[in-house]
Amino acid sequence: MGAFIKVHFKTHKRLDECLRLGQNTVSRWYNKDPKKFFMYLPELQKWSNEPVQDIISMIQQRQLDVEEMKKKNVVQS
């Protein structure tokens, strides 16, 4: 997901602007709740020309990564 954003939008800030979201929204979603990107799946597909299934897979993988990081933080606490 990070590479997807970098390749197609360069920065999280630029994707915020493209999606007309508040400042740092993409960063929050990326780091805490990647499922929210599903709301913008049509736009992400249109602007990137990536297959929808590939974008879905990237979002799902990022969600799994975030969940794993949360588990590790709980165990370390």
For residue 11, is pLDDT > 80? yes
For residue 31, is pLDDT > 90? yes
Annotate 12-65 with DSSP letters as a single string.
HHHHHHHHTPPTTHHHHHHHH-GGGGGGGHHHHHHHH---HHHHHHHHHHHHHH
Arithmetic mean of pLDDT, 14-42 = 97
Contact status, residue 37 vs residue 66, Cβ threshold 8 Å: no
The predicted model scores a pTM of 0.89
Arithmetic mean of pLDDT, 25-54 = 97
> 3-class SS at 77?
coil
Taking CA atoms, 44 is separated from 19, 22, 68, in Å, by 9, 17, 25
Arithmetic mean of pLDDT, 55-68 = 97
Our count of domains for the chain comes to 1
The more confident residue out of 19 and 72 is: 19
User: What domain range includes position 31?
Assistant: 2-76
